[in-house]
Amino acid sequence: MTTRALLVDDDAVLSETLAVGLRKRGMNVMAVGAAREALPLLDSTPYDVVVTDLNMHGLGGIELCRRIAESHPDVPVIVLTGFGNLESAIDAIRAGAYDFINKPVELDVLAIAVERAATLRSLREEVKRLRHEVGSIRPRSDQLVGESVAMRRVYELIDRMGSSEATVLITGESGTGKEVIARTMHRQSQRGQGPFVAINCAAMPEGLLESELFGRVKGAFTDAKTAEPGLFNRANGGTIFLDEIGDMPLGLQPKLLRVLQERRVRAIGAHQEVPVDVRVLAATNRDLESAIEEGRFRSDLYYRINVVQLELPPLRARAGDILPLAHLFLKQFAARANKSVSGMAPATAEKLIAYAWPGNVRELQNCMERAIALTRFEQICVDDLPERIRDYRRSHVLVASDDPSELVPLEQVERRYIARVMEAVGGNKTAAARILGIDRKRLYRLIGRLAVGDK
């Protein structure tokens, strides 16, 4: 880009000569005859460099340097000084000048100094921009590891949702790390300094879950000897994470829907609602669309929580992340057990990559914890792995064979393949239909006709 220079000198002849010379070298130069004229121009125009004479009537060059350093510290100033006036040049440097040039001025020397100063200004701007970007990035969870294509999509969506207050539905098989994602989204949001409250909606009966979520007043029921705030109240100013929301009792769903719509909570036994300021993140490993068709989940609640959907890939779909995750868990558990374990044998790594990981990241974590507990060496060996991983052989659907006795009817191949897909997606019919390239209604018909899942 063209260098923009502001030339300040009360010697009109010299000023014009220098301005013409710099313009011939491709620069955009504005010349003024007094320091007081320069300051307003700097406020309105993004100059890259200021070139000023040292001795001028009125406001001198040293004072101009000082004022520019205070108001526009990123703009470098070059001072023109009489030959041999070294002491004044040093004073200018102390006042904030970038460089000084002795008179009589050689145009080539001045042009080089101006370009060098403009480059410095550009670098300063770049450093400022990078610092801003780095400062705006909050660190992800230590457990959020992986650079596979599937995980990069997840990271991109998390980053895009950073400043959003929208409700997010996190879907994925059990063990894929949905709570880790939720905690990361909370930490990277504007509510990151507020509370993060999590509850498993499948872990307690309806009455207790209602009390946990919304709170209770004293005497609301037989055992309610004291008043207790609900998790929505405790999460005020932060995030509430509703894990396994697909297993929430049907009778409690309309009460949750009202809270999400009104952002007001009524404790059990209370007569008034109180406002709550929370962001809601929900997660499920269920196929909620199928649950709606089967009458187990309310469609209006589904659309309320599914403003943005973030689907976590199973570990088998991100094979490149298996070893980085394994090394992370290895390091954590080795430190906790005070064992000197530095890595794993190549054969061990091959077993980990080959395994299908139906339990996903949680299963891998448990596997590495077990391996650290059992290992007697500085590397994890194959014998340290669970038997199911050591002896794993990937199953295949038989499509053709040279042995006629092994050939099966087309219906049987179809049945086996659909069963294999359903197993791979953890029973999620929406995901299975997408893989098979059919709609869910047709998948339902095929499952019924072929008796997929029957022994």
AA letter at 262? E
**Over 255-273, what HEC string results?**
HHHHHHHHCEECCECCCCC
pTM, full prediction: 0.59
Query: Which of 144, 188, 184 lies closest to 163 in space, CA to CA?
Result: 188
pLDDT at position 260 is 93
Structure tokens at 214: 């919304």
pLDDT at 134: 42
Joined tokens for residue 420: 């294999």
Number of Cβ within a 10 Å radius of residue 300: 12
pLDDT of the residue at 235: 94
- Tens of pLDDT, residue by residue, the chain (455 residues): 688 999 999 888 888 999 999 999 999 999 999 888 888 898 888 899 999 988 888 888 888 888 998 888 889 999 888 755 667 777 878 888 888 888 888 889 899 999 988 888 887 776 666 555 444 444 455 557 777 888 888 888 888 887 788 999 999 989 999 999 999 999 888 898 999 999 999 888 888 898 899 988 876 666 666 778 889 999 999 999 999 999 999 999 999 999 999 999 998 888 889 999 999 999 999 899 989 999 999 999 999 999 999 999 898 888 888 888 998 899 999 999 999 888 888 888 888 988 889 899 999 999 999 999 999 888 899 999 999 998 887 555 555 555 554 555 677 677 777 877 777 676 778 878 877 888 888 888 777 776 665 54
pLDDT of 227 reads 79
Cα angle 358, 364, 370 (rounded to 5 degrees) comes to 125
Instruction: Give the pLDDT score at 397.
Output: 52
Residue-range domains of the chain with CATH: 4-134 (3.40.50.2300), 149-313 (3.40.50.300), 316-390 (1.10.8.60), 404-450 (1.10.10.60)
Q: Is 3 exposed, middle or buried (0-12, 13-18, 19+ CB in 10 A)?
A: buried
User: How many Cα atoms occupy the beta-carbon half-sphere of 120 within 13 Å?
Assistant: 17
Cβ atoms of 97 and 77 closer than 8 Å: yes
- Can you name the residues that pair with 215 across neighbouring β-strands? 229
Q: How far apart are CA 241 and CA 257, in angstroms?
A: 15
Longest dimension (CA), the chain: 107
Residues paired with 198 in a beta bridge: 241
User: How far, in Å, CA of 330 to CA of 344, rounded?
Assistant: 9
